[in-house]
A and B are shown apart, each in its own frame.
Chain A
Amino acid sequence: DAGVTQSPTHLIKTRGQQVTLRCSPISGHKSVSWYQQVLGQGPQFIFQYYEKEERGRGNFPDRFSARQFPNYSSELNVNALLLGDSALYLCASSLFVGVGNSPLHFGNGTRLTVT
């Protein structure tokens, strides 16, 4: 079975540009979450969506936005890129939301470099 897939795998952008990252969850999973992982740190929560509705938002500026589509795939958008946005962006899917017995399964991420 296919796991969580993310595209692109790598991306280089210039400060001030905009970027869109894509994620397809594991088949049957209805929840998608986005995390940012800076080198040497643990992942930090950005958003969670369930059944196309936002269920949680982390401490990130409004430049970050996301949405979930009817097929449960998701996009993360970041506007007005800053050098500090350089990181590994991870997408995770789960069957449900809000319960501990539905662990998050992560994709391999998109490595974003802002120059």
Chain B
Amino acid sequence: EDQVTQSPEALRLQEGESSSLNCSYTVSGLRGLFWYRQDPGKGPEFLFTLYSAGEEKEKERLKATLTKKESFLHITAPKPEDSATYLCAVQAGTGANSKLTFGKGITLSVRP
């Protein structure tokens, strides 16, 4: 069974204090690893897809990286508006569907 574990559960940062969020996964045949951002009362917002170990993607202050066992979401010089829950999900196997298996998410709070 596919498993996704995110750590830490919650992270509090001072504005400008860079850090990383971790996503460890166990899957059979990774087809893609996805990062989403979710604000309270909203649906997840797509950020990145990573397909193979060594791949990196960047968007503004966010950078996602992928190894064979985990992914990191690096946040450089965060701002209060980066406060949200960050979800990691994997798509795996050979089935004819796009089922995503999500982790529990990491709640990030950035203080001004």
Contact = CB atoms under 8 A, between A and B. Distances in A.
Contacts of A45: 99-101
B42 A108 contact: yes
Q: What does DSSP make chain A's interface, helix, strand, loop or mixed?
A: loop
B105 interface: yes
A71 interface: no
Interface string B36-60: 1000011111100101000000000
A43 B97 contact: no
Interface residues of B, number: 27
B51 A98 contact: no
A43 B102 contact: yes
Interface in B82-96: 87, 89, 91, 95-96
B104 interface: yes
B44 A43 contact: yes
Given A42-B103, A108-B41, A98 B95 contact: yes
Contacts of B42: 108-109
Given A35-B100, A103-B32, 6 more contacts: A33-B99, A42-B103, A97-B96, A104-B46, A106-B46, A108-B42
24 contacts: A41-B104, A42-B4, A42-B105, A43-B44, A43-B87, A43-B100, A43-B102, A44-B102, A48-B97, A50-B97, A55-B96, A55-B97, A55-B98, A58-B99, A92-B43, A97-B98, A98-B97, A99-B31, A100-B31, A102-B98, A103-B46, A108-B41, A108-B43, A109-B42
Interface of A: 4, 31, 33, 35, 40-45, 48, 50, 55-56, 58, 90, 92, 94, 96-109
